Homo-oligomer: A and B are copies of this chain.
Amino acid sequence: MSETRDLPLHRRGFLAGAAVTSLGVAQARAETQPVAQGAASSPAPAPAGNPLPGYVSWKDAEALIVHSNQTIETRRAAFGTGLITDESVLYVRNNVSPPPESIVADRDAWAVEIKGVTRPGTITVGALKRLGLVTVATVLQCSGNGRKYFQDTLEPGQKMSGTAWTVGAAGCVLWTGVPLRTVIEAMGGPVADAKFITGTGGEEIPQGLKPKDIMVERSVPLATLDTVILAWALNGKPISLAHGGPLRMIVPGYSGVNNIKYVKTVALTATETDAKIQAASYRIHKLGEKAAPNQPPVWEQPVRSWITAPLKDGRAGPMVIAGVAFGGVNAVAGVEVSADGGATWHKADFVGPDLGRFAWRLFALPIELPEGTHVLVSRARDTAGNIQPEDVPVNGGGYSHNGWRGPAVTLNLA
């Protein structure tokens, strides 16, 4: 069903067909509905929706969809053709209300307890900054990003709760901090039976509730110690409260919930935590079943991509289809694009810097599209040989969607 053709970016045939002669001006000026090519073009107007909650009032409201006070999605047009997602347009997802703003008043005084090491103790952000420095670009993505594409395919009687994210519960950002390994080694190294890194968030537990039911405490395999960082900066600036400042535990390649905000404890543990958010949530299980510790946890993100431009109907002719692709813990190895809903595929080129295996890459395909309706989709593969499937079997929590058909863009060209 698929036919892959190479379409190099600068091929003469494509360029010869482009409207760049002296006629180009008049043609372009006559466009009343130019094809949007990313954020640099006219963005879609924000429909009336929920206002931004106070703790993220500084964000760009026009770039965001407020599903609720704790679930705020980036509009696809706001990704534009940017390699780094600005904090002002980055999605927000909290499981519990954030702590008070006062915790970022003196960031360097925030203390994190380190347990499960030979010499356990507590260390402040100020002291962490004296220990080491590392910067890593990661795709931060909600485990439920793309849940809408599961929900859209449910049969009558089936039900899946959770935010109907499309592609916008994700972003690619730069974290700066200290390698967790540096901290662990400075404290004498892991205890002998350590198998997991268990991080606990600094959210306040409302009185009368059982802490284990509410607390954001997650465990990830100890093998991630090679890449986990304790981060105090996002895109070069102190991490905002909304995104986990003063200190966030970043597990590169792992879905959002594993990246603990306002981290107050990091423990090397023999077992996974029994907190509800780990034991009975964020598991891959059948629709209708309950989550349980024997099911696979939502940890590593699968290979994924989506198109970010063009998104708006416009004129037929030459154009550039662009998007983002990433491979979770693996680098993304290649991307194909189809303009006919997956019948034929074209190899896209990566454009711009490679920020490392945990980041997304921009891809682009120059193409000439005639008048009519076109269904644009993209399909990425990672360095481990994983490739995006057309569809993904439904799971009860609606996690880890990486099918290529769901996020299709339908374009009507005149």
**Contacts A119-B21, A187-B21, A320-B133 given; does A28 touch B236 at CB 8 Å:** no
Question: 10 new A-B pairs (CB below 8 Å) besides A82-B236, A83-B174?
Answer: A23-B121, A24-B123, A29-B111, A37-B133, A81-B133, A85-B236, A86-B235, A86-B237, A353-B353, A355-B355
Cα–Cα, bound, A123→B354 (Å): 30
Q: Is A134 an interface residue (CB 8 A)?
A: yes
Q: Is A31 an interface residue (CB 8 A)?
A: yes
Give which listed residue, B38, B124, B130, B354, contacts A18 with CB less than 8 A: B130
The answer to whether A124 and B82 have CB atoms under 8 Å apart is no
Q: Which residues of B contact A84 (CB under 8 A)?
A: 84, 174, 235-236
Q: Which residues of B contact A318 (CB under 8 A)?
A: 130-131
Q: Contact string, A32-44, partner B, CB cutoff 8 A, digits 1/0?
A: 0011011111100
Q: Is A395 an interface residue (CB 8 A)?
A: no
The answer to whether A238 and B353 have CB atoms under 8 Å apart is no
Q: Which residues of B contact A67 (CB under 8 A)?
A: none
Q: Is A359 an interface residue (CB 8 A)?
A: yes
The answer to whether A233 and B20 have CB atoms under 8 Å apart is no
Number of copies: 2
Binding site for B on A (CB under 8 A): 9-10, 12, 15-16, 18-25, 27-29, 31, 34-35, 37-42, 80-86, 107-109, 111, 119-127, 129-137, 174, 176, 179, 181-183, 185-187, 232-233, 235-238, 317-320, 322, 351-356, 359, 362, 364, 366
Closest to A134 in B: B351
- 12 A–B contacts, CB within 8 A, in A order: A20-B187, A25-B122, A29-B109, A31-B126, A40-B176, A80-B237, A81-B135, A82-B174, A82-B237, A129-B319, A132-B320, A135-B362
Give which listed residue, B15, B41, B81, B233, contacts A40 with CB less than 8 A: B233
